[in-house]
């Protein structure tokens, strides 16, 4: 077994590169110095590898990390699978996704709480900082025990920021400490030996003279202090150390100079690597603490190592739905029974029934038998022919399912809760889940007998489902009740692990079109879907072999046609290279090409803060302005990226990004101008394969459509809220030009009371403040998570933006008292 420490040392000795100082370890990107991202990722990888090793050892198996390899998510995932500590079908994609989520919620602290002394342990705010850390750790444990992994990861990222900043902003390292400060994660221990509020701690210094600016008696008596920091005022208590750096006004006042170790050029930059190393070790300790409280399997689930595929079903249970319920049962049972105990077994199951006027509850379980029992107990009754609470049910599933899940909605009626459409779109964008609608009979049957206005209504009903499906990268499949069971093949296709999207386009055709896509050697089980009313198509392989839609079993694959769905399963020997499909259709259609591969990618918009840092931008970027994408290519250490494009979702306009590499698998991509149209992100590149002489081209696409907006909405969330106590959340609207009137909506996935202003006017300044009050029911269990979305919609243009926030409901832990400052 290779030593895990060696890798940390390898990273620590990276090239020395310099950039301006800011107020913390750089959140995402800082060549040479260690960032919150690297510190967090390394700690997660080390602890995860250790957990896998311990599980393997306990079961008498060997655990081997690849020798002479950096500690990457793929390497750790492979080693864990090879030792059977985690599911062998788990792709490293989810592991990357989770690590990214954790470090982005770490980085966002610099943006949301830039000036909070507690979040950065500035201004000797040790007690407040520790309160954030210990309350965070308690919330993470409670969330994990409730299965609320999404919230747990957000809280974990946030608390790690404060924990890591302690080592950069305090004099812990200067005191000669040889281990992390364990008291920071133990609320019951007293915070001893803090320098008192009137105890001087530093002398004035400039430049390299600042290496030893901490007063000798502070060092001698091992008093803990941290630097004062302010961008507004130079005021600080007499004799106190400053943080230092050009943003810090306090460092201009006596005693001048600073003590931070944020990067190698900081006043105490000579201790940066030591502080960063200590921060890694401290993060490892917190992870161990969480692991001990939750158990090894839950820990692996927390870091995303045991998620394979998710089977998620949202189903109408009104009177006419018995055939569909039977169909959903059949396909679920078949997936469960045929995959049980195999690597292809889904790792989680989601079920949400809806009716009229009821919907829910959400069942979320890792136990296939519980899921079977719940779906078995569904029966069709009530509701009649009326439209149903479809979007409400779907929202519960979107909020409850792990990110990037495939969700299937069964219904035979129009949705009655149309006002939720924009909220569904916001949740689709923020969760990146894919929604496919299985629409049966009634929608179709009504068509024949319907009057013109009813037909118009019907078309708009179906169009709603189509819009939502396409925005998510899914499909709106219309079939008869009798043929539904054939169409459920798409559910079987989707509930496999390591599924990637090669291409997805939506078209309202005027002329026939040829669409091409590249298949690479890492792909298997490639499936092409053409969904639309009677399209005529022919598929061409790279060598020119063709097969038309009328040939069910041909040289290229087998074609299933049912309802408006055409599914082409390519033969397993399908060639790699550029394929083409020529399509002629009088109606709109969607084309989707998926397959299984370890090579995939993740994208997140990030924002550049003053000083060069990047923090995540969780909602729609401004139309017409530049933007930056953080791209991680997963599962391929031998992948090179040549192109990152924004492609018009229902057209062919393209915006090219400029790629800047951040190391082996991560990239920053600058987009000059966010377009007005909805777009998908496409990635192209080359794939090395030792068994081949030359690299192969590959392409991937993000299934989720994204869009820009002329308005931004920002909120500064608390990670936890208390049951029964109204929680006030302020938010800010900013428009790209002058103001306008915005309709405000707020929604939660729990039946908690929410109040908010119905509209806001951004006036001539182009900005406005608002406030949402959320009250968790007083009987809510600790660890329950709640999703809150706030939307702002321009009343005239229907342009909108949103924030999607997650909170953990927690009763107040009695940590405050223990956390009181204790002074000599």
Residues within the interface to ligand NAG (CB under 6 A)? 5, 10, 61-62, 68, 178-179, 274, 277-278, 281, 496, 512-514, 521-522, 524-525, 572, 582, 623-626, 638-640, 670, 676, 687-689, 691-692, 695, 710, 716, 718, 730, 736-737, 769, 771, 797, 799
Do residues 185 and 143 lie in contact, with contact meaning Cβ atoms separated by under 8 Å? no
Which lies closer to ligand NAG via its Cβ, residue 416 or residue 582?
582
Q: Which is nearer to ligand NAG, 460 or 730 (CB)?
A: 730
Residue with tokens 């995303």: 304
We find the least distance from the C-beta atom of residue 488 to ligand NAG, in angstroms, to be: 14
Minimum CB distance to ligand NAG smaller for 50 or for 358: 50
Q: How far is the CB of 176 from ligand NAG (least distance, A)?
A: 11
684 vs 663: CA distance, rounded Å: 18
Nearer to ligand NAG, 736 or 743 (CB): 736
Q: How far is CA 285 from CA 139, 149, 169, 183, in A?
A: 16, 19, 19, 11
User: Which residue is associated with the tokens 């921060």?
Assistant: 279
Q: How many residues does the chain have?
A: 824
DSSP characters for 596-618?
E-S-EEEEEEEEEPTTS-EEE--
**Residue closer to ligand NAG, measured from CB, 278 or 471:** 278
- Residue 453 or 572 with smaller CB distance to ligand NAG: 572
| Cis, bond preceding 361 (omega within 30 deg of 0) | yes
Per the DSSP assignment, residues forming a β-bridge with 683 are 644, 700
Task: Tell the smallest beta-carbon distance from residue 718 to ligand NAG (Å).
Answer: 4
**Sheet with 536-540, edge to edge strand ranges:** 513-519, 577-584, 536-540, 546-548
Residue 110 vs 248, nearer CB to ligand NAG:
110
User: What is the pairing mode between strands 310-316 and 406-411?
Assistant: parallel
Task: Report the residue number, 206 or 661, with the smaller CB distance to ligand NAG.
Answer: 661
Closest distance to ligand NAG from the beta carbon of 355 (Å): 33
Residue 486 near residue 560 (C-beta atoms within 8 A): yes
Instruction: Provide the minimum distance between the beta carbon of 409 and ligand NAG in the complex, in angstroms, as a whole number.
Output: 22
Nearest approach in angstroms of CB 824 to ligand NAG is 26
Q: Other CB atoms closer than 10 Å to residue 388's CB: what's the count?
A: 27
Comparing CB distances to ligand NAG, the nearer of 467 and 676 is 676
How many CB atoms are closer than 10 A to CB 460? 12
Q: How far apart are CB 362 and ligand NAG at their closest, in Å?
A: 27
Cβ closest to ligand NAG, residue 416 vs residue 486: 486
- Nearest to 50, CA basis, from 90, 4, 83: 4
List Cβ neighbours of 669 (8 Å cut-off, separation of 6 or more): 628, 629, 630, 631, 644, 657, 658, 659, 660
Residue 255, preceding peptide bond in cis (omega within 30° of 0): yes
Give the whole-angstrom CA distance, residue 807 versus residue 717: 8
Cα–Cα distance for residue pair 167/226, rounded to 1 Å: 9
In the complex, least distance from residue 391 CB atom to ligand NAG, rounded to whole angstroms: 24
Q: In the complex with ligand NAG, which residue's Cβ is closer, 207 or 573?
A: 573
Give least dist CB 813 to ligand NAG, A: 10
C-alpha span between 354 and 391 (Å, rounded): 9
Query: Which residue, 460 or 638, has its beta carbon nearer to ligand NAG?
Result: 638
540-571: string of b/e by CB count within 10 Å (b at 16+)? bbeeeeebebeeeebebbebbbbbbbbbbbbe
Report how far residue 157's alpha carbon sits from residue 565's, in angstroms, rounded to the nearest whole number.
42
Helix (H, G, I), strand (E, B) or coil at 143: helix
42: tokens are 């390394």
Minimal distance, residue 12 CB to ligand NAG, in Å: 10
Q: In the bound complex, what is the minimum distance in angstroms from residue 819's beta carbon to ligand NAG?
A: 12
Task: Name the phi and psi angles at 161, rounded to 5.
Answer: -60, -50
**What does the block give as tokens for 750?**
């729990």
State in angstroms the smallest separation of the CB of 521 from ligand NAG: 4
Residues 6+ apart with CB under 8 A from 776: 721, 722, 723, 724, 725, 727, 750, 752, 784, 786, 809
Min dist. Cβ of residue 780 to ligand NAG (A): 16
- Least Å distance, CB 199 to ligand NAG, is 27
Which residue has 């093949």 as its token pair?
Answer: 489
Q: Which is nearer to ligand NAG, 789 or 800 (CB)?
A: 800
| Residue number with CB closer to ligand NAG (449 or 691) | 691
**DSSP letter, residue 659:** E
Residue with tokens 């989810």: 94
Question: Nearest distance from residue 89's CB to ligand NAG, in Å?
Answer: 11
The SS3 call for residue 494 is helix
Strands of the sheet with 753-755, listed across from one edge: 711-715, 727-735, 767-775, 753-755
Residue nearest to ligand NAG (CB): 710
Q: By C-beta, is 147 or 757 nearer to ligand NAG? A: 757
Q: Tokens 């990637």 appear where? A: 500
By C-beta, is 309 or 411 nearer to ligand NAG? Answer: 309
Q: Give min distance, CB of 789 to ligand NAG, in A.
A: 18
**How far is Cα 582 from Cα 579, in angstroms, rounded to an integer?**
10
* CB 413 to ligand NAG: min, Å: 32
Given the complex with ligand NAG, which of 4 and 104 has the nearer CB atom? 4
Beta-carbon contacts of residue 12 (< 8 Å; ≥ 6 apart): 34, 273, 276, 277
- 8 A C-beta contact, residue 298 and residue 172: no
Cβ at position 359, least distance to ligand NAG in Å: 31
What's the Cα-to-Cα distance from 336 to each of 243, 304, 370, 403, 496, rounded to whole Å?
Answer: 57, 21, 12, 21, 12
Cβ-based nearer residue to ligand NAG, 281 or 650 = 281
């Amino acid at each position: 077994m290779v030593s895990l420490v060696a890798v940390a040392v390898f990273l620590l000795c990276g090239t020395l590169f310099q950039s301006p100082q800011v107020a913390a370890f750089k959140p995402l990107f800082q060549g040479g110095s260690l960032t919150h991202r690297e510190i967090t990722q390394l700690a997660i990888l080390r602890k995860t590898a250790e957990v896998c090793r311990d599980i393997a050892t306990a079961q008498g198996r060997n655990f081997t990390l690849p020798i002479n390899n950096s500690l990457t998510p793929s390497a750790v995932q492979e080693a864990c699978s090879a030792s059977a500590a985690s599911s062998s079908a788990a792709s490293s994609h989810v592991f990357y996704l989770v690590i990214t989520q954790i470090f982005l919620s770490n980085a966002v602290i610099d943006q949301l709480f830039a000036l909070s002394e507690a979040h950065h342990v500035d201004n000797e705010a040790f007690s407040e900082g520790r309160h954030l850390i210990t309350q965070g750790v308690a919330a993470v444990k409670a969330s994990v025990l409730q299965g609320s992994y999404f919230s747990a990861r957000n809280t974990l990222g946030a608390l790690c920021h404060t924990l890591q900043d302690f080592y950069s902003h305090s004099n812990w390292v200067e005191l000669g400490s040889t281990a992390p400060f364990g008291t920071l994660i133990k609320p019951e221990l007293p915070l001893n030996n803090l320098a008192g509020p009137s105890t001087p701690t530093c002398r004035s210094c400039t430049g390299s003279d600042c290496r030893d600016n901490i007063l000798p008696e502070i060092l001698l008596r091992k008093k803990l202090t941290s630097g004062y920091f302010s961008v507004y005022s130079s005021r600080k208590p007499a004799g106190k150390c400053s943080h230092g750096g050009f943003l810090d006004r306090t460092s201009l006042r006596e005693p001048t100079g600073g003590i931070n170790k944020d990067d190698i050029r900081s006043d105490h930059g000579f201790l940066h690597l030591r502080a960063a190393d200590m921060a890694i070790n401290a993060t490892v300790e917190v992870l161990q603490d969480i692991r001990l409280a939750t158990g090894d399997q839950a820990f692996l689930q927390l870091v995303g190592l045991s998620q394979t595929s998710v089977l998620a079903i949202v189903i109408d249970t009104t009177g006419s739905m018995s055939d569909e319920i039977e169909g959903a049962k059949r396909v679920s049972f078949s997936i469960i029974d045929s995959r049980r105990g195999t690597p292809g077994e889904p790792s989680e199951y989601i079920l949400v029934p809806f009716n009229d006027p009821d919907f829910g509850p959400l069942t979320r379980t890792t136990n296939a038998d519980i899921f079977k029992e719940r779906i078995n107990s569904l029966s069709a009754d009530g509701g009649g022919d009326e439209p149903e609470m479809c979007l409400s049910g779907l929202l519960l599933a979107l909020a409850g399912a792990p990110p990037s899940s495939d969700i299937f909605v069964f219904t035979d009626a129009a949705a009655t809760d149309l006002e939720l459409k924009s909220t569904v779109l916001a949740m689709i964008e923020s969760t990146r889940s894919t929604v496919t609608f299985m629409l049966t009979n009634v929608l179709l049957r009504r068509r024949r007998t319907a009057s013109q206005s009813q037909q118009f209504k019907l078309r708009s009903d179906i169009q709603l489902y189509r819009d939502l499906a396409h925005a998510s990268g899914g499909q709106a499949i219309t079939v008869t009740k009798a043929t539904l069971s054939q169409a459920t093949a798409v559910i079987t296709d989707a509930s496999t692990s390591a599924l990637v999207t090669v291409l997805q386009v939506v078209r309202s055709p005027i002329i026939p079109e040829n669409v091409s896509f590249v298949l690479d050697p890492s792909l298997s089980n490639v499936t092409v879907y053409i969904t639309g009313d009677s399209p005529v198509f022919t598929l061409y392989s790279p060598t020119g072999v063709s097969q038309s839609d009328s040939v069910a079993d041909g040289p290229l694959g087998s074609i299933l046609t049912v309802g408006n769905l055409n599914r082409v399963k390519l033969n397993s020997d399908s060639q790699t290279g550029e394929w083409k499909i020529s399509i002629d259709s009088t109606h709109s259609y969607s084309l989707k090409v998926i397959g299984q591969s370890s090579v995939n990618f993740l994208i997140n918009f990030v924002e550049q803060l003053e000083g060069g840092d990047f923090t995540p931008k969780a909602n729609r970027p401004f139309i017409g302005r530049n933007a930056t994408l953080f791209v991680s290519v997963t599962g391929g250490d031998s992948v090179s990226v040549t192109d990152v494009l924004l492609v018009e979702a229902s057209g062919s306009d393209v915006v090219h990004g400029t790629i800047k590499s951040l190391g082996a698998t991560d990239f920053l991509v600058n987009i000059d101008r966010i377009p007005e149209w909805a777009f998908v992100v496409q990635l192209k590149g080359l794939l090395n394969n030792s068994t081949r002489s030359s690299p192969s081209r590959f392409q991937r696409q993000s299934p989720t459509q994204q869009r820009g907006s002329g308005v931004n909405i920002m909120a500064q969330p608390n990670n936890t809220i208390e049951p029964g106590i109204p929680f006030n959340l302020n938010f800010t609207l900013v428009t790209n030009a002058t103001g306008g009137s915005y309709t405000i909506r707020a929604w939660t996935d729990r039946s908690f009371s929410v109040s908010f202003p119905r509209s806001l006017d951004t006036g001539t300044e182009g900005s406005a403040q608002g406030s949402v009050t959320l009250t968790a029911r007083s009987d809510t269990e600790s660890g329950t998570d709640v999703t809150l979305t706030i939307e702002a919609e321009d009343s005239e243009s229907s342009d909108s933006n949103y924030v999607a926030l997650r909170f953990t409901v927690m009763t107040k832990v009695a940590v405050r008292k223990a956390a009181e400052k204790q002074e000599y």
